[in-house]
Amino acid sequence: MTIMKITHTLRLAAASLLILTACATAQPPTEQLWKKIQAANTDLACDNSSQCHSLGVGSKACGGPENYIAWSSKNSDGAQLKALVEEHAAARRADDKRLGMMSTCSVVSDPGATCRAGSCVVNERSLMPPGGRSNVQ
């Protein structure tokens, strides 16, 4: 082999390695956005429950959010968080469409949020048996 062929082969091998490394470490946009949402929602401080709010996140294939997170309006108006959540939901919808995803079309109801021990948390969901009547008296 000539020096030129060896150099060319080494360049191709290096380029292939760079591409493979980039593909292996790259995160999907939805994961990057989720991390941004988490970073933007670290201040959950509250004095009372009126400062606590719930926000639907993600997007089910049939529509509606996948889940809910709590956020606090004590130190923020939530504009940045809401924008990130909408961007994430749009990315999830695009992924679902691209991948042909389907879902059960079940509705995830908004549980609301409350102030507990100075921090906003999502309220626990109560599961209702079929027929919608609770067995609790």
Give the SS3 label for residue 68: strand
Helix (H, G, I), strand (E, B) or coil at 7: helix
Question: Rounded to whole angstroms, how far apart are CA atoms 86 and 88?
Answer: 5
User: 38-42, 55-59, 99-103, 114-118: which has the minimum mean pLDDT?
Assistant: 99-103
Residue 24: the pLDDT is: 45
How many whole angstroms separate alpha carbon 111 and alpha carbon 55? 10
User: Averaged over 65-84, what is the pLDDT?
Assistant: 96
**Would the pLDDT of 29 be above 90?**
no
Alpha carbon distances (Å) from 134 to 109, 125, 127: 17, 13, 8
How many Cβ atoms from other residues are within 10 Å of residue 91's Cβ? 19
Q: Is the dihedral of CA 80, 82, 84, 87 positive or negative?
A: negative
Structure tokens at 68: 């809910």
For residues 108 and 56, what is the distance between their CA atoms, to the nearest angstrom? 9
How far apart CA 37 and CA 54 sit, in angstroms, is 14
So what's the pLDDT on residue 74?
Answer: 97
For the cut 80, the answer to whether the pLDDT of residue 109 exceeds it is: yes
Mean pLDDT of the chain: 83
Q: Which whole-number Å values give the CA distances from 57 to 21, 75, 96, in the listed order?
A: 31, 21, 15
